[in-house]
Structure 1
């Protein structure tokens, strides 16, 4: 459903007060003064205050007063209190509508300012990933479960390091500003560690210490780290309680590389358990790697069935990576009848020569 369909056509809404006053005038002229339709002229400025500016509301109110005066004279209502009561009603509604419109306009301006700040914060927190890295083509997608929101607790990043192309996709437990702050912290540490640390295990250890120190055991982050080596045609993974990555092979078969042992999410290392261990999977020219958060894998339809990601992998068989990822995102939203949770996706294609 488009924005215009949800909010109504602005051109149609702008004419609504005038149409309402015309209908009331026609009813008054047809039914006569005894029907008592004249006070309904105040509906014009009332609707104007809901959908227009305060200046337009005042103009509509002035027109309503003139119309009310004309009808009152025509009906002979100013010989009694009815005409003056109707005029007072229109004037009062006009004043209230103008005040309401002024308050609404001020709040809309504040909301626009907040959205602008949120967009800047999103660009700082979730920088655009490089579209091409050597023989890799990269595309990213982020869908927020909160209407009009552009930032959340899901995260992704691609870093070109001396040790290969390193990637992270993660999901911070919880919602709101606290989750955004933790996501920003994780991304900052990953961007630095990806250049400094020779192995994924060392990167995960730094992330674990950072999340544990920052969250104090009250928050955790599921994440999958990847290190892609196109020269040797393999990808190394390290999974910390995150959904498995998906590799679409050149023959269109689908593979979900699983870790040798499941590790706890970042920030929960003090609870014990096996530490995360890296593992490898073949990654050859013509193949695709999709990393995503549980907003994708746990999306449910009306009957509660999970999104069949493996069955819908064919949606990614589109020449342009961004268009392919958008097709998958649209299908997920349609399947779940709207976003149920934040969903981040990162698609990496190993291009042939």
Structure 2
């Protein structure tokens, strides 16, 4: 993508001079009988698309100089038509300088917004540690919003006295409202994960926080995972896509919930607590948690991305980071265009037995 953008910028930078060169050549070849001089205003007009105010003014000055020389060559200098040509070029120069100034101001404001977004990213979606207790973790986030790195998808991994606790979620909607809701969920999770002895308690704390924040029609799908040093894992799925469990020897397994449960924000619709799913892990097992932007990505023919069929790529590399990079590249090739929705992928690996005693955050 970058070479294409650089090529476009270079093209726009030389376009004003190319246009004025063509107009000059055509006027010289056509002779004094045909008036092409007003077309010299294309130079400053195109300059305003990519150049600053000073450069646009310099291109405009060149256009005026060319107009004077060609007017002298055509023997029209000082005539009423030639004076109108100078006036029209001057008007285009003034408009171009104004447009260039406004564009530069907007670009500075956009740069400031991107800087704020970078800070928000570090606060909301903190850098993921590669090792959390007995777990290795890798994460990738692809935002559907142009030039944005955060959106409505969320994730977090923390080491607590109750084990390694994980959340992956997807906020209904997009834009700044979705980011704000994601911040509420993550803030509640980071606090409750250390205090609550059970995952249902963590989910209840998040539900309480969302009740104060969301409207009655909004919700957040999420999955919470707790991994203990004794090789057991507990999953609480609240309306979220089922994770995939990948064994070193064996098929890819979808970890479906015992029964469907409403998303966070809608848990008040049911009285019974959300049932949890327990399973055993073997050293080297990997679990992929993801948001629906992954499985809802379509190719040019409208087919959905077959994640379950492609997930075996996650076992091809020893390093979870490299394995997840391979899956992201495959998703990008399959889609063939920017994603329509945010997509987050979190890959967890239960470390080998020699590492089980390392329960510190590294």
Distance 2:215 2:49 in 1: 48
How many angstroms does 1:142 deviate by?
1.1
- Other-structure match for 1:52: 51
2:154 and 2:186 in contact (8 A); partners too: yes
Change (3 A) 1:33 1:157: same
Note the C-alpha offset of 1:252: 5.3
| Structure 2 residue aligned with 1:300 | 298
After the TM superposition, which of the residue ranges 58-67 and 172-181 deviates more from structure 2? 172-181
Following superposition, the deviation at residue 246 of structure 1 comes to 0.6
Deviations 1:5-63 (Å, cap 9, x if unpaired)? Answer: 25743233212111111111111100112221111111111111111001000011111
Worse-superposed segment, 82-91 or 140-149: 82-91
Q: Quick one: distance in 2 between partners of 1:258 and 1:180? A: 27
Q: Are 1:212 and 1:268, in contact at CA under 8 Å, matched by a contact in 2?
A: no
Deviating more after overlay: 157-166 vs 279-288: 279-288
Q: Which residue of 2 aligns with 1:281?
A: 279
Cα 1:264–1:79 shift into 2, 3 Å? closer
Moved more, 273-282 or 259-268: 273-282
Q: Contact 1:167–1:227 at 8 Å: present in 2 too? A: yes
* Equivalent pair of 1:46/1:94 in contact (CA under 8 Å): yes
What are the Cα deviations for residues 114-152 of structure 1, in whole angstroms up to 9, with x where unaligned?
A: 111111111111111211123422111111111112221
Partner of 1:66: 65
Structure 1 equivalent of residue 245 of structure 2: 247
In 1, distance between residues paired with 2:250 and 2:77?
Answer: 83
Alignment pair present for 1:153 and 2:124: no
- 8 Å contact 1:257–1:281 — kept in the other structure? no
SS of the aligned residue for 1:215 comes to coil
Q: Which runs of 4+ in 1 moved over 4 A?
A: none
Distance 2:273 2:5 in 1: 49
Aligned 8 A contact 2:252 2:312 in 1: no
Q: Report the equivalent of 1:320.
A: 319
Q: CA RMSD in A?
A: 1.7
Distance 1:216 1:102 in 2: 42
Deviation of 1:217 (Å): 2.2
What is aligned with 2:212? 213
5+ residue gaps, structure 1, are: none
Which residue is equivalent to 2:338? Answer: 338
Would the aligned equivalents of 2:12 and 2:49 in 1 still touch at CA under 8 Å?
A: no
Partner of 2:131: 132
Paired residue total = 351
